[in-house]
Structure formats: structure tokens, C-alpha cells
Structure 1
Amino acid sequence: MLLAWAPIPLGSNRGWAWAILVGGAFFILGFWLILWALEKAQVPDALRNAWPAFVLLGAFAALQAFHFVPLPPDWVEYLSPHSARLQAATTFLTGPRETMTLSIEPHASQVALVKTLGYSAVFFLVLALVNNRSRVLNAARVLVYVAVIQGVYAVLMHLSFSNDEHFGTIIAHGTSASGTYPNRNHFAGYLEMMSAVGIGLLIAGLSDKRAETWKAFLRDLVAWVLSPKMVLRLSLCVLVIALTTTHSRMGNTAFFSALMIAGVLGIVLSRYATRNTVILLASLVVLDLLIVGSWFGVEKLAARIEATTVEDVRTREEPAAYTLPLIKDYPILGAGPGTFYVAFPKYRPETVVSFYDHAHNDYAQIAAESGILGLSLLGGVVLLSLIAALRAQWVRRDPLMRGMAFASTMGITALLIHSWVDFNLQIPANAALFMVILALGWISLHLDRAHA
């Protein structure tokens, strides 16, 4: 329920909304820990074997906490000279400082730490609670079908050219499908991840049984049409329609690029890949892009990509490009988690009059706020999870685990591509769901390994 709710209140990108998301994760985690202390809950293999990821997440959280710990000015001067100079420049307002912090805005860093702990709790809970096959199926189905409801709502609002007030924010649905997100690019990021989970479910349900006769083939075809697999396939069509009507250039590029990359990797790595898997992946590209998409705006999307000018690209790249001097000034530790909106104005040229609270590039923003050290720690978590998913495709025979491994590989790849020009990981709902995608990589490798 918590994960289904997260996208609804503007992607949980409001103070009260992300507080519900994070607070809910803490509550469930606390309840699980009580059950564990009473020996009513067990530590699954996936949770136990994901300890390297938790070490890196713990180190990243400790780094964030270190940013707002009061330190002697000499220490801050040594560790972050620019931060010390910036705080020393305000002494005429505050008087001489006995202590300083590495963060140029300690309160923003405290908020960022709470969010990080909440996302880590989601990662932990998925590994702890999705601990058998039925729960894997239930969790994946809930995520996909909730996304389908979002997709239907988004497309209908778009086709009706509505401007709807949603939780106090006006969302212009007429220009593009945006669902419950104010920004269509973040809605596209949500659909990328949920589509990956849906494709993983489809792969999990495939078999390599061949029909010996035309009669048997027709019987199997009718059985497939009447089975839940057909509902899932139609659901994926809805998600592709919704993604196409977002008219998000990088969102759609990331989705289809990730589908092809994950497809090739899955076929190359999986010793147990079936012929039907190859057919399914080919049909996803051909049917969804050329047939379904052509009816619901792929031509508009193509026209928008074709009409993209150098000025459009420069506008999207400007915040990230102007962030590079900020990263150079705070190379190792960053200016402080959550402080981009405070630090960036100093590095913004006079020609840029817009206010940017994000860098429109997750890599640049994380490096600016938490330094190369913080970016490396988070990158390690993602890399380890991706390796786990790829290993699962190599060693697992279980179709469900191979399907979830594919979902994790594709979801991670899509967000990594999309993050170059957008800030999906700064949107609480998308960040939390990305942690679910990471957790699926560990689950696909370690769940029921005795029966692999």
C-alpha cells in the first residue's frame, strides 16, 4: 500500500507527502524488527547476502550525517576550504564562530539524511518481506497494475485536454500525459521502472514447450489469450501508450534503449533462455513501438525529437554544466546533501535567470552535494545490485527469478540513462521505487537458491 500510494501525491515530492512515505517505511521497519526480536521473523538469504550494499548505504548515511556535525573551524578549513570561507563570510551577522559544519546548509542536509534512511528502509523491507515466490509475484503484480491505473488515468486526462488541480498543484494534462506527477519526465521515469517489472513478469511466465501440430498450436494460443498472461500483455501496452504520450524524449529513449540492452544481455548471459523469450522481446519492440505507439502519439514524440534544437539541448544541459565548477570547489565531500539550491546561484551566470533547485542531472547533483566520495558510495550500491541481477540471469534456472533479474537489469539501466538529463532520483516516489528495483536484483539471485 505504501509503494502504491507513493506516486499519487505528486510523486511524494512535497514535505508532507515524503514524510508519509518515509514515516511509513520507518513504521513497518520498526514492526519487523520487533517481530525479529521476538523470533517471529527470519532473515532471508537475499537480505543476508546483500550486506555489501548495506555497508555502502551505511557509509553514505554516515557521510551525510558528518556534514552537519559541528566541527572546529580549522577542521572544516582543512576538509572543505570553500565551505569554511562561505561560513566565515557571515560572521558579521552571527559573530565569531566556535564551530562550523561541512554543509553550507545543515538543515537541508538533515532532511536529506532522513530521506536516505527512508529509502534504505524500503530497500531493507523489500529484501526482508518479499521472501518467497508468492510474495515476489504479488509485489510485482501490485506494482504493475497500480502503474496501469496511473497510465489509464494519465492518458484519459491527456485526451480530454484537462488542466487538473492535484493536491494544490495545477497539472497541465493537455500538452502531455503526466498522471499524478507535475513533471511528465518524472512520470516517464516511473513508467520505465514499472514497465520493466511487467516485462519481467511476462518472461517469468514463458515456457519453451513447442506445439507439435497446428491444432495444438491453436489450442495453446486460445489458452494464452484467455489466461492472465494476456491481461499482463495488455497492461504493458497501456504502460507503453502512457509512456509514449508523456512525449518525454529521454524517457522514451531510456525505455527502449534499456529494453534492447537488457534483452541482449539476458539472451547472452542466460544459459536457460528460451526461444519464446527472444520472440517476446522482439514483439515488445515491434508491436509496442510501431503499432501501439503509432496510434497514441509516437509520431508527435518523433516530431518533437526531430525538432529538438541545439538550444533545447543546451537549456537542458546548462544546470549540469554550470555545476562542474561547484563540484571542483567541493570535490571530495560536496557542499552538503540537499544544498544544491543554496550553492548553485553563486555559479550560475547572469544570463541564466531561472531558479534551479535541481541540476537536471542526478550524477552532477549527487557529486555537487555529497562529493565524489558520496557519488562513489551510491554508485557502488547500484553496481553491486546490477551485478547480482546479471549473475542471476547466468546461474538461475527458475523462470520467475530470471524474469525478476531481467526486470532489475532493465529498470536500473533505464534510470541510469534517464538520469543524465533529469532528476528522477530527487523525486521521493521514484527514488523509493528505484530501491525496489535494486532489491529485485538481490532477490533474483538469492531467493530459494537451494532450488535453483
Structure 2
Amino acid sequence: MDVNGIIISDLLRPSVLKSSTLSALLRILSLSSLLVSQKSDTPLFYSYLALLAWVPLPLGSNKAWAISLLSSITFALLAWWLVLYTQRKLSLSKSFSNSWLVIALLLCAPLWALMQFQLDITIDPANTLQDALFGFALAGLFTLTTLLVKSKRRIKLLCFTLVGSGLFQAVYGSMMTLTGIEYLFFVPKEHYLNLTTGTFVNRNHLAGYLELTLAVGIGLMISTLDGSSAANWRDFFRRLLTTLLGNKARLRIILVMMVAGLVMSHSRMGNSAFFASLSIAGVLALILSRRSTKATIILISSLIIIDLFVVGTFFGVEQVVQRLEKTSDSSETRDEVNTYTLGAIEDNLLTGSGAGSYYTLFPAYREYDAGRGFYNHAHNDYFEFASDYGVVVTGCLMLAVLLVFISAIRAQIKRKNTLMRGLAFSATMAIIALAIHSTVDFNLQIPANAATFVIILALGQISLHHKSRER
């Protein structure tokens, strides 16, 4: 008997039966191992998400106890993953396998900090040891993200966790400002009164956190766009109602609320970096992606126009503009601080003065024209890293970020999946935003912002190397 060109009597031959049975068994074992893998690390994945939601709450984790807690939990999660891996319940993801160079470059900083401590190079051993611990934790967060975020569902859960955290910071900070009842994390607010800071002490650090989480939210929004044209008027109105009442509308409202919180912080470079990075990343996306559509152009244009002119009008963008107009060399001391920091870099060009030692080092170099304030950080991340770690290690960290940026650019060119292109856009925008903001501030010295940035870097790698196993 012939069925679809196959003779059943041939299928019943021992050799054919043995081969087909073996193939079926291999498929069943492969599927069952995948299901076991997904179930085995589910509690681990949700613990990882809970950690990300917690990190910005205790003053951006910018306290010794909060840094120690963040690092300890990260190491515990890594140990948990290793136990499951040794039990053969998990396997290495492709994103992790293709990110070994980025991880190695990220590990250069904590390894060198340990060397500074051991060789007695540092002038502040306690802070150097703490920075080494935190550096390993950041590399661990990058590693965990590439290992755990291995399905589209998990990618979306991670992105919505970051966006939800950013939304909370924007709403909480705005309510504190509007009501006049100003608290941080169960602590009365002492600085930046009448300005939105969320649970961060400094408004610029809230702005940096919102830049990163807004980049993730905009990437999610881009991943939902439908590039095909409407077939008829009925299809057009159906899409319009879906946009107004569906998930897209809710996400768009969330983004508007986050932008309002960013504007209410009155952070000059925070707002400038956000809109500049959105514009640059948008232009790059339109140039690089052969699948860019009118919907992408409309979304990016609406984000800039509506958020800048409508949201800004109600929530104080004119005050940000006034602060920018009043900014001058005579009213700012950051340029003097940078000049004196360059002197510190020249004296410790290769070795650095020790991770986390800027607080101790800078008083020996400052002059009277740097103002009366005490600087525990340089208002320039590039200069502070170079001063603390030396130019070689700083170059390694910058190379790691550059490699991820290249991966995100490649993903926008090569990937067909809309979610992967959205992730690539998020990574591109976040890198540009923080690259701009870091020239006048120290967001990467704030644990919550550094941890969130590292996770977005991991998402940039995932955007290029992730392969869906869903059948």
C-alpha cells in the first residue's frame, strides 16, 4: 500500500523501523530536556527579576550595605545556576557563548582592582576592595542575563520589569514633588527639594535611570509596530482601535509618564541626552534596517514632538531650557574639576590611584577655583575611571561597550524578528544616552544605574545571538 509515495511494507522493515524509532526517541529526549531546563531555572529567573526591581529603591543602592547586598545576592544566583548546570538541568545559551569577549573585558576592572589591593597600589584599600566586589557582581549580572533570558517570554518579562521600575521611580518622584511630602526610601529628603528624584538622592541619577528604562520601553514599542499597510478601511479602523485600546496604548501612556518624570527632574544633561539619543538612534534605525516602516518614523517623531512640546509644557521643560541658557563657564566649576582630574590621571596613567579612591585623591589636586564643595566623584565618568583604574583598564571597559554597540547595529541590519530589532534599538539608544550623559556626570558610579546599564548591554548581545527554540 502506497501512502504519500511511501510504501508501508518498507517502513516495517527492521532497519527502517529501528532508524525511525531512534529518531523519534531523540526528538522526545531533546524536547523533554528543553522543558526540564525551562522549569529548573524558573525560580532562579524570577529571583533575578526581583533583584532588578529592588536595586534602585535604597537610594540607588549607593550605600555600602546596599552594594554588599546586591553583590551577595548576585553571587548566590550565580552559584544557584552552577548547581543546576552541574546537575545537567541547564545548558549554556548561544548568547552567553558569543559574549565571552565582552565578559572578559568587563572582568578586567575588578581583577585589576584586586591587583591594586594586593600590590598596595591603591591609596584607599577599603573602597578598592568594595569596588572589586561590585565589579565582579556587574560581570555576574551580565552573565546571568545572557544565561537566563533565553526565550521571547523571558525577554519581555525582563523588559517590562525594567520599564515598570522606571515608571515607579517617575510616578513616585513626581507625587513627592507635587504633594510636598518629600521622602526618599523611608528617609526624609534633604537635597533637591521641589524636584523629582524618585528614590535617588541626586536628580541627575534619576534622570540617568529613566534614560535607560525609557530606552527599553521605546524598544518594546518599536517591537509591536506592524509594518504592513491596511488592506481596507475596515482593517484601518481595526488597527486604530487596537492602538487606542490595546497594549500599545498602555505602553505609550507609560512612556509619557516616564518622560514627565524626567522633565520634572530638571536635569539639563539628562533631558538633553535622552532626546539626543532618541533622535540619533532613530535615524540609525531608519538607515540601517531595511525593514523600517512609516510606523517607525511616526513613532519616533511622536515621541520627540509630543513628549517635548506637550508633556514638557505641563511639567516644566521651560525650566530645563532656562537652566541650559544660564549654564556658563563662570557659573560652573565642573570644567575646573576636570582639569585637576586630568592632572591626577597623568600622575597615575597606567596603574590608576586605586578603584574607588577619587574621594581620597582629589583634595591633593584641587585649587581654590574648584569651588567650596567637596567632590566625592568626578563629574565625568571617563575621567574618574581613568583616574581610579588607569587608561588601559578604562580602554578595556570602553571596548566592551563598543562591542555591544556593534552587535546592536548588526542586529538592526540582520534580524528579521521585530522583538530582536526592538532590543537592538534599546541597546543602541541606552549606550548613546549614557555616553553623552557621562561627560558631565557620574551615573556609572551609582550601583543601580551601572547594574541596569550592564543588563541592557546583555540585551544588546541577545538581540544579535538569540535563537528561538519555540516550535
What's the TM-score, normalizing by structure 1? 0.90
State the one-letter code of the partner of 1:267: L
Query: Cα distance, 1:318 vs. partner?
Result: 2.6
State the one-letter code of the partner of 2:365: Y
* Partner Cα separation in structure 1 for residue 163 and residue 81 of structure 2: 25
Aligned position for 1:398: 417
- Partner of 1:138, secondary structure, is helix
* Partner Cα separation in structure 1 for residue 415 and residue 149 of structure 2: 18
Query: Cα distance, 1:255 vs. partner?
Result: 0.3
Residues 357 and 237 from structure 1, CA distance in 2 versus in 1: closer, same or farther, beyond 3 angstroms? same
Aligned position for 1:377: 396
* Partner Cα separation in structure 2 for residue 108 and residue 263 of structure 1: 40
* Partner Cα separation in structure 2 for residue 34 and residue 274 of structure 1: 46
Q: What is the 5 A alignment of 1:340-355? A: 340-351=358-369, 352-355=371-374
* Partner Cα separation in structure 2 for residue 166 and residue 37 of structure 1: 39
Moved >6 Å (runs of 4+): none
Aligned position for 2:223: 204
Query: Cα distance, 1:173 vs. partner?
Result: 6.0
Does residue 35 of structure 2 align to residue 16 of structure 1? Answer: no
Counterpart selection for 1:320 from 328, 333, 338? 338
Counterpart selection for 2:257 from 238, 252, 256? 238
Query: Cα distance, 1:217 vs. partner?
Result: 1.7
* Partner Cα separation in structure 2 for residue 393 and residue 185 of structure 1: 30
Aligned position for 1:64: 113
Query: Cα distance, 1:367 vs. partner?
Result: 0.3
Deviations 1:100-135 (A, max 9, x none): x11122222111100101111111111111111100
Structure 2 unaligned residues grouped into runs of 5+: 1-49
Counterpart selection for 2:237 from 218, 221, 227? 218
* Partner Cα separation in structure 1 for residue 178 and residue 54 of structure 2: 24
Does residue 141 of structure 2 align to residue 125 of structure 1? Answer: no
* Partner Cα separation in structure 2 for residue 348 and residue 430 of structure 1: 27
* Partner Cα separation in structure 2 for residue 163 and residue 157 of structure 1: 5
Counterpart selection for 2:77 from 4, 28, 38? 28
Q: What is the 5 A alignment of 1:283-294? A: 283-294=302-313
Aligned position for 2:94: 45
Aligned position for 1:89: none
State the one-letter code of the partner of 2:85: W
Aligned position for 2:376: 357
Q: What is the 5 A alignment of 1:403-442? A: 403-442=422-461
State the one-letter code of the partner of 2:345: I
* Partner Cα separation in structure 1 for residue 158 and residue 190 of structure 2: 29
State the one-letter code of the partner of 2:68: A
Query: Cα distance, 1:174 vs. partner?
Result: 4.0
* Partner Cα separation in structure 2 for residue 16 and residue 106 of structure 1: 17
Residues 165 and 218 from structure 1, CA distance in 2 versus in 1: closer, same or farther, beyond 3 angstroms? closer
How many aligned positions are there? 420
What's the TM-score, normalizing by structure 2? 0.86
Aligned position for 1:6: 55
- Partner of 2:112, secondary structure, is helix
Counterpart selection for 2:350 from 332, 339, 348? 332
> Aligned-pair RMSD on alpha carbons?
1.5
* Partner Cα separation in structure 1 for residue 181 and residue 327 of structure 2: 26
Counterpart selection for 1:299 from 318, 327, 335? 318
* Partner Cα separation in structure 1 for residue 340 and residue 259 of structure 2: 34
* Partner Cα separation in structure 2 for residue 305 and residue 15 of structure 1: 34
Aligned position for 1:153: 172
Query: Cα distance, 1:420 vs. partner?
Result: 0.4
Residues 165 and 212 from structure 1, CA distance in 2 versus in 1: closer, same or farther, beyond 3 angstroms? closer
Aligned position for 1:182: 201
Contact 1:202/1:232 (8 A) holds in 2: yes
Structure 1 unaligned residues grouped into runs of 5+: 71-100
* Partner Cα separation in structure 1 for residue 469 and residue 414 of structure 2: 12
* Partner Cα separation in structure 2 for residue 188 and residue 126 of structure 1: 24
The structure that has the greater radius of gyration is 2
Give percent identity, aligned residues only: 42
State the one-letter code of the partner of 2:96: L
